[in-house]
């Protein structure tokens, strides 16, 4: 066998020996529960605090533009060019496409020529009427001729008015050959290309308004009265959350509460408006919304990790100075005190860990309410401000367990010399009994 194989074999034997030794040591430690029962369990604790907690309602919503326009030509013809960049902002009145204007320009010229022709006829009719009404010629003109001449003047006046209207209409139509954006917004993907003949039903591009923008969402009908009462005082704040629950937009205001509850879903619709200055909200996107409806003043808050679910409801592990009555910890408190006294007599110094007042835990039933932020929970019954509750290490606890309370992030102190000696003596004593 090579030297390398000998080394690997030796390392394997050592590892197996260590594992066996640890298993045997653990078995001996479990053979007599006296030392393990007295050893305090390190736990992380946090005090219950009174806070002003905002009350939120959350729901899924859809980003909806306030204005969305399908830009369609108002006259037909050949599309000459597009004057916008897809996906870029456009301004209201900006030319975004042009249609061949030559046909409409010819119609305009015809209408102008027709008006000139009719106006000439009007001037002739007016001249005839004036001559007929002149006192020098009036005795020689029949009355019926005067009436006819006056009607002819009216006829050509009407014709000229109609010509002016036709000219104005044609000019308007000619103006429609330059297609402009009706709103400020962002242009989408073009639907046609230059060279195609478009009609009044052809969509060239869709322009959507981005600033501001709406988010529409629904809440259960049970919240309707609460939301309406809060909205009556001031517009409610609405925020947008990402997938991890972090706020990405917090400047929204509730704008509309629908006037009915959907009988199929039991919910009602709401619409909030956001400035969307950073363009984080995109039309059609699904988002998580959060509406602030009120503030719970002086609410008692504990970390969510402190609240456990038991067969009789929610509970927390509460830190106490004395073991709960009737527990094994209470029965053994005197013996533990004697052992501590003997240990201190063997050289422990005042102020060390074994001289600190013992702490215990008891299972405290609580009633909980709304959440407080991402990691807190409101406790409505069962605790008072300042009570210490366990947030980590609960799996090793039972009623009356002795514990070593630690702050979040704090690690247990290393065992003292006295504790190590006591553990060694108990281990050797168990060995002799075997």
Q: Report residue 58: phi and psi, to 5°.
A: -115, 150
Closest alpha carbon to 375 in 244, 250, 287:
244
Q: Say if residue 296's pLDDT is above 90.
A: no
The CATH architecture one would assign to domain 40-52+300-410+417-425 is Beta Barrel (2.40)
* Fold agreement between 40-52+300-410+417-425 and 55-66+208-297: no
Q: How confident is the model at residue 4 (pLDDT cuts 50, 70, 90)?
A: low
Domain extent listing, the chain:
40-52+300-410+417-425, 55-66+208-297, 75-199
pLDDT tens digit string along 246-258? 899 999 999 999 9
pLDDT computed for residue 416 by the predictor = 64
Strands 49-64 and 402-406, sheet pairing = unpaired
Q: Which carries the bigger pLDDT value, residue 115 or residue 133?
A: 115
pLDDT computed for residue 374 by the predictor = 72
Measured between alpha carbons, how far is residue 107 from residues 37, 101, 112, 178 in Å?
105, 10, 9, 17
Measured between alpha carbons, how far is residue 68 from residues 10, 71, 341 in Å?
77, 9, 82
Q: How confident is the model at residue 429 (pLDDT cuts 50, 70, 90)?
A: low
- CATH class entry, domain 55-66+208-297: mainly beta
Q: Are 420 and 352 in contact (CB under 8 A)?
A: no
Query: What is the rounded CA–CA span in Å between residue 96 and residue 78?
Result: 15
pLDDT tens digit string along 22-72? 555 544 444 444 444 567 889 999 999 999 988 889 999 999 999 999 999
pLDDT computed for residue 346 by the predictor = 46
Q: Which carries the bigger pLDDT value, residue 203 or residue 141?
A: 203
pLDDT computed for residue 138 by the predictor = 72
pLDDT tens digit string along 147-198? 888 899 999 999 999 999 999 999 999 999 999 999 999 999 999 999 999 9
Q: Are 302 and 368 in contact (CB under 8 A)?
A: no
pLDDT computed for residue 180 by the predictor = 96
Closest alpha carbon to 300 in 82, 131, 53:
53
């Amino acid at each position: 066998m090579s030297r390398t194989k000998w080394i690997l074999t030796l390392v394997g034997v050592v590892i197996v020996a260590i594992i066996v030794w640890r298993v045997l040591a653990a078995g001996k430690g479990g053979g007599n529960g006296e030392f393990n029962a007295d050893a305090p369990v390190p736990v992380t604790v946090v005090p219950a605090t009174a806070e002003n907690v905002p009350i939120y309602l959350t729901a899924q919503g859809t980003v909806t533009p306030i204005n969305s326009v399908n830009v369609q030509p108002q006259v037909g013809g050949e599309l000459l060019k597009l004057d916008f960049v897809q996906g870029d902002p456009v301004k209201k009145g900006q030319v975004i496409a042009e249609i061949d204007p030559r046909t409409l320009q010819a119609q305009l010229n015809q209408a102008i020529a027709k008006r000139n022709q009719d106006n000439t006829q009007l001037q002739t009719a007016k001249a005839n009427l004036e001559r007929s009404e002149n006192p020098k010629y009036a005795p020689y003109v029949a009355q019926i001729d005067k009436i006819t001449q006056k009607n002819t003047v009216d006829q050509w006046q009407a014709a000229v008015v109609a010509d002016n209207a036709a000219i104005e209409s044609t000019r308007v139509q000619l103006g429609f050959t330059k297609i402009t954006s009706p709103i400020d917004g962002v242009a989408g993907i073009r639907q046609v290309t230059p060279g195609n003949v478009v009609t009044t039903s052809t969509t060239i591009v869709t322009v959507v308004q981005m600033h501001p923008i709406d988010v529409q969402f629904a809440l259960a009908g049970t919240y309707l009265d609460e939301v309406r009462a809060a909205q009556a005082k001031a517009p409610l704040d609405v925020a947008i959350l990402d997938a991890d629950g972090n706020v990405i937009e917090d400047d929204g205001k509730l704008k509309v509460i629908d006037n009915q509850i959907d009988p199929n879903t039991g919910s009602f619709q709401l619409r909030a408006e956001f400035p969307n200055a950073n363009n984080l909200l995109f039309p059609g996107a699904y988002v998580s919304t959060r509406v602030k409806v009120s503030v719970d003043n002086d609410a008692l808050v504990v970390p969510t990790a402190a609240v456990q679910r038991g067969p009789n409801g929610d509970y927390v592990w509460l830190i106490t100075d004395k073991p709960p009555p009737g527990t094994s910890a209470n029965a053994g408190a005197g013996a533990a005190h004697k052992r501590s006294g003997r240990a201190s007599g063997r050289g422990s110094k005042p102020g060390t860990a074994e001289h600190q007042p013992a702490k215990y835990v008891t299972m405290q039933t609580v009633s909980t309410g709304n959440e407080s932020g991402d990691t807190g929970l409101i406790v409505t019954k069962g605790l008072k401000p300042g009570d210490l509750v366990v947030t980590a290490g609960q799996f090793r606890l039972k009623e009356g367990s002795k514990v070593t309370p630690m702050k979040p992030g704090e690690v247990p102190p290393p065992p003292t010399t006295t504790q190590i000696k006591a553990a060694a003596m108990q281990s050797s004593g168990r060995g002799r009994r075997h």
